[in-house]
Amino acid sequence: MTQLPIRLIALDLDGTAIGPEQEFAPRAVRAVAEAQRRGIVVTLATGRSPVSTRPFAEALNIHVPLICYQGGLIAETDGRVLHRIALDRGLAAQVITLAESRGWHVNLYQDGLLYLTEFRHPTPFYEALLNPAAQCVPDLRPLLDHDPDKVIIVAEGNGDEIQAELRERFDGQMQIVRSHELFIEANPPGVDKGRGLAWLAAHLGVPQSQVMAVGDQDNDAPMVAWAGLGVAMGNASAACKSVADWIAPPLSEDGAAVAIERFALDDNHTDLDCQ
């Protein structure tokens, strides 16, 4: 049960707060600014690395900890790590070996950087969607002298098959999630945005009932389900919508901004009826 007023808002990025152009709509910027002016904490919850997330935080004047790597890492905007759950290096090596045997486009997140053995897409693709600090190396396995953050497969028309095989092979050992139409991630067990948001809320002293989360993909479902007020975008996946308290308009209609305006900024409008 939501206990107004909302004190903490967690926004997913891709498909929720930003679209393919990788920019916030003016209405979203205004809504976040007004929420911050009223003392509401606004953060970003994403699968991206801190390096990749920081420019978006700066665009929204966010100076509170960011939820990165699907909740596996929570860091201040200056990079100082507050909370981290790493992926076992042996499991990471197994995913890399499997991916290479299948011809999948495998990428490794290690120490805030993105490593891959070949660029199958133009450089701006990696910079915009994965990490601005992508490095090409002959082999990913030598990097595993310590535990990485996650492994990500860039699907090339076969995302469902990749996700199914990874879940079958590593069920219970890793958290396999679809974070984007193109991305299937192998994360540490027990890592998801819901647990990450719960950690951050406790760190900030905000009760669950006064937390709002907005997302659109399967990987957002845990935080949408955990939050006192969980919002799924109109363009959200079925899994995300199924756990939401309210369905916002789609990204094309400024759904995230509408949700903030309705539940965090309008003191007289607290019902959950869909528009």
Reading the block at residue 170, the tokens are 């590593």
Domains 8-84+191-265 and 89-187 share a fold: no
Query: Fold for domain 8-84+191-265?
Result: Rossmann fold (3.40.50)
Q: Tens digit of pLDDT for each residue in 158-201? A: 999 999 999 999 989 999 999 888 999 999 999 999 999 999 99
Q: Please, what is the Cα angle at 33 between 27 and 37, to 5 degrees?
A: 145
Reading the block at residue 42, the tokens are 């606004």
- For residues 124 and 50, give the distance between their C-alpha atoms in angstroms, rounded to a whole number: 18
At residue 266 the predicted structure's pLDDT band, cuts being 50, 70 and 90, is confident
Q: Please, what is the Cα angle at 49 between 41 and 152, to 5 degrees?
A: 130
Q: Tens digit of pLDDT for each residue in 197-243? A: 999 999 999 999 999 999 999 999 999 999 999 999 999 999 999 99
From residue 23, how far is each of 133, 162, 229, 234, 252 by CA, in Å? Answer: 19, 29, 25, 19, 12
Q: Tens digit of pLDDT for each residue in 242-264? A: 999 999 999 999 999 999 999 99
State mean pLDDT over 5-12: 97
Residue 1 pLDDT more than 80? no
The answer to whether the beta carbons of residues 146 and 161 sit under 8 Å apart is no
Helix (H, G, I), strand (E, B) or coil at 155: coil
Residue 114 pLDDT more than 90? yes
Residue 275 pLDDT more than 50? no
Dihedral angle at the C-alpha atoms of 234, 162, 22, 69, nearest 10 degrees? 100
State mean pLDDT over 134-151: 96
Which amino acid, one-letter code, is at 211? V
Domain boundaries, the chain: 8-84+191-265, 89-187
- pLDDT value at residue 272: 59
Sheet holding 81-84, edge to edge: 66-68, 73-75, 81-84
The answer to whether the beta carbons of residues 62 and 41 sit under 8 Å apart is no
Specify whether domain 89-187 bears CATH 3.40.190.80. no
